Amino acid sequence: MSVLTQIRRNDQPIYLDYQATTPTDPRVLEAMMPYFIHKFGNPHSRSHSYGWEAEEAVEKARGQVAKLIGADEKEVIFTSGATESNNLAIRGVAEFYKDRKNHIVTTVTEHKCVLDTCRHLEQQGFEVTYLPVQKNGLIDLEALRAAVTDKTVVVSVMAVNNEIGVIQPLAEIGKICREKKTFFHTDAAQAAGKIPLDIEAMNIDLMSISGHKIYGPKGIGALYVRRKPRVRLVPLIVGGGQERGFRSGTLPTPLCVGLGEASEICLKEMDGEAKRLTKLQQRMLKGLQDRLPEIYVNGDLEHRIPGNLNISFAYVEGESLMMGIKSLSVSSGSACTSASLEPSYVLRALGVDEELAHTSLRIGLGRFTTEQEVDTAVDELVRHVNKLREMSPLWEMAQEGIDLKSIEWAAH
Amino acid sequence: MPAAVYLDHNATSPLRPAAFDAMVEALRAGGNPSSVHGVGRRARALVDAARRQVAALVGALPAELVFSSGGTEANNMALAGSCRRRVLVSAIEHDSVLKAAPNAEVVPVERSGVIDLAAFERQVMSGEPALVSVMLANNETGVLQPIAEIVRLARKAGALVHCDAVQAAGKVPVDLHGLGVDYLSLSAHKLGGPAGVGALVVRNGVRFRADRRGGGQESNRRAGTENVAGIVGFGVAAEAARAGLAAAALRDRLEQALRSIAPQARVFGAEAERLPNTTCVSMPGVAAATQVMALDLAGVCVSAGAACSSGKVHRSAVLAAMGVSDAEAGSAIRISSGWNSRAEDVDRLIAAWRDLYVRVGQSDIPKSQAA
């Protein structure tokens, strides 16, 4: 563990934002190193040993990624990240099959890159059904079944939500899609390497994977594309015809190697890590619940990855809390939209009311989080929440038993 | 063991040590630049610093830069992002331009490899305002194109101009505003930065529509978490490249030596202005594949054409566009030096090339190579 503990120096904040990005595992970095320096060839150069060596490394990595999800290596294509994978999967199939089918089903809590891609396709004349989610963040399978028609080209449902960590019932969704003869795409950026995924058992046709969410590097991702029965795509990036024509551009060998190594480590350590993180998650939650009244966990606790908690601290403004606890790196929602102060659309979709949505923090635990860090984080959170509540007139009124919803605020 | 002499920089250039060091540091530091907390803000600062470094290489404003996953994506972004229906390309563009604009009108090049400006003027003036896409330097021959002149003609026709500067940047001075182009594509790994990063420069005020949808990264021009370490490496490499642009001395010595060994050897594009690092040369009667294999065994890496298509055996579209016969094009190899190339490397290439030529080049062409 000596290398692993080098991740954080004592003067640095405690990193609790593993859904935004994960530190690169030192073992991953080590595997990448030679391909930055000595083994720098272009994997598409077929005329010399530098090229062959790079190609071999890329193909090994492809196999490692495939193994993580039970796929064949020929079914994995490298992309620049999960955003590109999601764009390619949804737009790629929609455009390829547009003469026969024109309908897409997704959910309201998808990542922004899925929702924006769907909105773009709506402008192009496709119809999109945005399924609501239940209060626990999971979709209603009967609603899904009812939404899919013979015009539905693809159902895109994320495996694990980036804000609340809930796991959608993938196998059941896959079964419905197979019965209804539509493709099933899942954005597994937050799921791969954390929960077991099996493209056969779950009937998944397309799956997006991100490198930097699984302790690999940024700038690399993958898209699983089923070969039997074959899924066809219109590529988004054309050129040299790399990646079997699905995605042109010189492959970044070290990044591919990093994603491969990260996948292998995740597969090997998934069970142990999940157990360890479950303990930490419970320790954190219990620590907070024991010492703070009126805190609420958003999203299902049972169908959830162990590395996530999303908690509303009533009467405390999330942004102020975040800014107050400088010793912790946490976020108030998705990183991509964190600069905006709008409440999370994911929480609103769960029916969390606006005031509570504003008080929420996303806490991400991961491979390098220690028990001691969890304890320190709990202390810090309790201290700052109490401090902010003491300054809050709303908290004071609530403590006095006044129903805040009954108050008619004067307009000003 | 890989060969010791690497002369295939136009395929990919080894990572500069300073870029590597900066990247490892960035990989260790981690953080998502979109996160508001300190770790995220530090990652954001790294991206901003690199943006300034890369912008300086091409005389652009930092805000004019959109980082991408590489040159191919940058070219695709420009062609899709200009929103022009009509596209004109030169006959020698990279596949990432040609395939991204399958219905483009093709402008011929002269035998020298330089775009036919008279033909271009006629084509660009007839029809609706187009997007013109012409590369600054060709990847196979190194021939430089008269971009400023192309821009002047394009402006008269109300056309926008995209310039693929992937092979030129870091090898010859590139100045966005001096050239006057609207879009400029760059790649990190061609100038000693890492693979997996590039940029599209969009001149201030020029229309650009993003094709990739998602988070608001890169000022809403390219969604996706930034490849922070890659971008950092790009910045450092760009700065190093700007400080030490290549001289043509090695290339000229090499070409002189090869021609003195085999007087019929032809350097393609020799009559035009070229990159100081690129030589596309034929060994008459010897198949390119035979040459690259023999040179590889002798410990020298070169290529038979562009890396992206070098696995497939087909004739070079670039040489064909220059009117080179199939037979002659089939015996052409590309030698490209770079930031770490030394005179000894070129000497080893010359010696290996001479050995091969003496062994097979001067004898009758064996049947297997004549095919």
Q: Which of B187, B216, B304 sits opposite A47 (nearest CB)?
A: B304
* Cβ–Cβ gap B308/A44 under 8 Å: yes
pLDDT in tens, A225-236: 999 999 999 999
Among B5, B7, B37, pick the best mutation site for testing chain A contact (most A Cβ within 10 A). B37
pLDDT in tens, A11-38: 689 999 999 999 999 999 999 999 998 8
pLDDT band at A339 (very low <50, low <70, confident <90, very high): low
Task: Tell me the average pLDDT across B295-304.
Answer: 92
User: Over chain B, what is the mean pLDDT?
Assistant: 92
Q: Are residues B258 and B224 in the same domain?
A: no
> What residues contact A95, with CB distance under 8 A and at least 6 apart?
A234
The Cα of B128 is separated from the nearest Cα of chain A by a number of Å equal to 24
Task: Tell me the average pLDDT across B247-271.
Answer: 94
- Residues paired with residue B169 on neighbouring β-strands, in sequence order: B172
The Cα of B296 is separated from the nearest Cα of chain A by a number of Å equal to 6
Q: How many whole angstroms separate alpha carbon B132 and alpha carbon A272? A: 57
Neighbours of A229 (CB within 10 A): 9
Q: Are residues B119 and B253 in the same domain?
A: no
* The dihedral formed by the CA atoms of B3, B4, B9 and B15, expressed in degrees to the nearest 10: 110
pLDDT band at A4 (very low <50, low <70, confident <90, very high): very low
* Cβ–Cβ gap B225/A39 under 8 Å: no
Q: Are residues B216 and B259 in the same domain?
A: no
Q: Are residues B255 and B217 in the same domain?
A: no
- Residues paired with residue B198 on neighbouring β-strands, in sequence order: B68, B187
* Cβ–Cβ gap A47/B293 under 8 Å: yes
Size of interface A-B (CB pairs under 8 A): 269
Q: Are residues B167 and B68 in the same domain?
A: yes
Q: Are residues B232 and B330 in the same domain?
A: no
Domain assignment of residue B272, given as a range: 5-13+245-370
* Top CATH class, A2-22+270-399: alpha beta
Q: Which of B68, B72, B216 sits opposite A239 (nearest CB)?
A: B72
pLDDT at B120 (0 to 100): 98
Q: Are residues B189 and B250 in the same domain?
A: no
| Number of domains forming the structure of chain B | 2
Residue that is written with structure tokens 């769907």 in the block: A118
pLDDT band at A406 (very low <50, low <70, confident <90, very high): confident
The Cα of A396 is separated from the nearest Cα of chain B by a number of Å equal to 29
The Cα of A10 is separated from the nearest Cα of chain B by a number of Å equal to 14
Q: Are residues B262 and B233 in the same domain?
A: no
pLDDT in tens, A137-162: 999 999 999 999 999 999 999 999 99
pLDDT in tens, B117-132: 999 999 999 999 999 9
* Cβ–Cβ gap B39/A81 under 8 Å: no
Question: Is the pLDDT assigned to residue A168 strictly greater than 90?
Answer: yes
Chain A residue with CA closest to B196: the answer is: A252
* Cβ–Cβ gap B229/A17 under 8 Å: no
Tell me the DSSP string of A334-383.
Answer: -GGGTTS-SPPHHHHHTT--HHHHTTEEEEE--TT--HHHHHHHHHHHHH
pLDDT at A343 (0 to 100): 79
Q: Does B298 contact chain A (CB < 8 Å)?
A: no
Q: Are residues B358 and B289 in the same domain?
A: yes
Chain A residue with CA closest to B220: the answer is: A336
Q: Does B197 contact chain A (CB < 8 Å)?
A: yes
Among B25, B32, B67, B186, pick the best mutation site for testing chain A contact (most A Cβ within 10 A). B32
pLDDT at A326 (0 to 100): 86
Contact call for residues B354 and B360 (beta carbons, < 8 A): no
Write the DSSP symbol of residue B246: P
* Cβ–Cβ gap A218/B228 under 8 Å: yes
Is A336 labeled as catalytic in the residue annotation?
yes
pLDDT band at A320 (very low <50, low <70, confident <90, very high): confident
Would you give the end-to-end CA distance of chain A in angstroms?
58
**A9 contacts in chain B (CB < 8 Å):** none
Q: Are residues B203 and B133 in the same domain?
A: yes
Q: Which helix (H) or strand (E) holds B140?
A: none
Q: Which helix (H) or strand (E) holds A103?
A: strand A103-107
pLDDT at A335 (0 to 100): 58
**A22 contacts in chain B (CB < 8 Å):** 30
Question: Is the pLDDT assigned to residue B187 strictly greater than 70?
Answer: yes
**Assign residue A209 a region: left if phi > 0, alpha if psi is -120 to 50, beta otherwise?**
beta
Task: Tell me the average pLDDT across A290-316.
Answer: 96
Q: Are residues B50 and B163 in the same domain?
A: yes
User: Is the domain A26-265 a CATH 3.40.50.720 member?
Assistant: no
Give the CATH number of the domain where residue B306 resides.
3.90.1150.10
Q: What was the ipTM of the complex prediction?
A: 0.89
**Assign residue A78 a region: left if phi > 0, alpha if psi is -120 to 50, beta otherwise?**
beta
What's the token pair of residue A210?
């991100």
Q: Are residues B156 and B212 in the same domain?
A: yes
Question: Is the pLDDT assigned to residue A378 strictly greater than 80?
Answer: yes
Among B36, B197, B217, B232, pick the best mutation site for testing chain A contact (most A Cβ within 10 A). B36
What ranges do the domains of chain A cover? 2-22+270-399, 26-265
pLDDT at B171 (0 to 100): 95
- Strand A295-297: give its sheet, edge to edge: A295-297, A308-313, A360-364
pLDDT at B135 (0 to 100): 98
Q: Which helix (H) or strand (E) holds B145?
A: none
* Cβ–Cβ gap B229/A45 under 8 Å: no
Q: Does B292 contact chain A (CB < 8 Å)?
A: yes
pLDDT in tens, B192-245: 999 999 999 999 999 999 988 998 899 999 999 999 999 999 999 999 999 887
Chain A residue with CA closest to B311: the answer is: A46
**B309 contacts in chain A (CB < 8 Å):** 240-241
Q: Does B289 contact chain A (CB < 8 Å)?
A: yes
- Residues paired with residue A105 on neighbouring β-strands, in sequence order: A129, A155
Residue of A113, A177, A256, A336 marked catalytic: A336
pTM of the model: 0.92
What's the token pair of residue B371?
């095919």
